[in-house]
């Protein structure tokens, strides 16, 4: 695998998809419908998915592709694959709150090793470089030219005064009960895979998710967090969250900087 070529392509496709999403975001109206599981999908989800999946299949025809918006890709038994959530945070998009992301990741042997998370409404772009180190890029975010890259790293947490980030749309009593087991100084709310990125940059110390997620929701953010020195663990046994599971469904998990005693909770 040529990881340099891979990341060049993933970065470009994420930026191109972000442009298409923002065209629809700024329109007076856009189409919304309900999927079979009653979750919403918009024309932006579908347009971004078409762009990304076509680009990935053209560039990497030998690698299996799993994408949220193509149900026929969900019936695969794979350990090495590309995985896409073309618009994570559709509810945030519909409510025009800005906390939505484009997510593309490479999973190798069940581990997300490379990924890009782009929040087009916020102008924040996070990705792993060819070596797996995570960076945040700033500047014009031009398609052909990489701007200023800043290496990102998780916090060295003050275990007596932790910063937590949790979901805007899915926070519930179970999540609050879990958070309350820790000495928390303050909390933030964020939508989509931005929560992983806030832990990766040290803006938060941990992010618990006690709710349903799929692998395409988490893989890119997980890759970015891995590349910044963090970890994502299942809540049931505190083992690393793996990918290529049946139905691509995740258990509850916590994403965190090292140094927090997660077994205490």
Residue ranges covered by each domain of the chain: 3-151, 162-264
Distance CA(168)–CA(158), nearest Å, equals 24
Q: 232 near 255, Cβ under 8 Å?
A: yes
The string of pLDDT tens digits covering residues 60-119 is: 999 999 999 999 999 999 999 999 999 999 888 989 989 999 999 999 999 999 999 999
Instruction: Select from 234, 239, 188 the least CA-distant residue to 215.
Output: 234
Please say whether the structural domain 162-264 has been given the CATH code 3.40.190.80.
Answer: yes
Instruction: Select from 222, 258, 240, 220 the least CA-distant residue to 56.
Output: 220
Give this prediction's pTM: 0.96
The string of pLDDT tens digits covering residues 206-265 is: 999 999 999 999 999 999 999 999 999 999 999 999 999 999 999 999 999 999 999 866
Least trusted range by pLDDT, from 32-41, 54-63, 147-156, 194-203: 32-41
Fold for 3-151, please state it. Fructose-1,6-Bisphosphatase; Chain A, domain 1 (3.30.540)
């Amino acid at each position: 695998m040529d990881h340099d070529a891979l990341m060049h392509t993933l970065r470009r496709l994420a930026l191109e998809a972000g442009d298409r999403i923002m065209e629809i975001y700024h329109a007076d109206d856009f189409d919304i419908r309900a999927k079979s599981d009653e979750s919403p999908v918009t024309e932006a989800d579908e347009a971004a998915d078409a762009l990304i999946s076509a680009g990935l299949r053209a560039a990497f025809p030998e690698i299996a592709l799993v994408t949220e918006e193509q149900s026929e890709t969900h019936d695969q038994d794979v350990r090495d694959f590309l995985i896409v959530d073309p618009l994570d945070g559709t509810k945030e998009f519909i409510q025009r709150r800005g906390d939505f992301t484009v997510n593309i990741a490479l999973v190798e042997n069940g581990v997300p090793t490379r990924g890009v998370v782009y929040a087009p409404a916020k102008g924040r772009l996070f990705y792993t470089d060819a070596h797996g180190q995570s960076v945040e890029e700033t500047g014009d975010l031009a398609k052909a030219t990489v701007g200023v890259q800043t290496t990102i790293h998780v916090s060295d947490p003050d275990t007596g005064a932790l910063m937590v980030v949790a979901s805007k749309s899915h926070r519930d009593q179970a999540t609050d009960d879990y958070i309350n087991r820790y000495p928390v100084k303050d909390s933030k709310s964020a939508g989509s895979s931005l929560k992983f990125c806030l832990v990766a940059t040290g803006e938060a110390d941990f992010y618990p998710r006690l709710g349903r997620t799929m692998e395409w929701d988490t893989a890119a953010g997980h890759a970015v967090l891995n590349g910044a020195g963090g970890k994502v663990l299942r809540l049931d046994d505190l083992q690393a969250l793996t990918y290529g599971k049946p139905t691509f469904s995740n258990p509850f998990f916590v994403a965190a900087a090292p140094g927090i005693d997660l077994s205490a909770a």
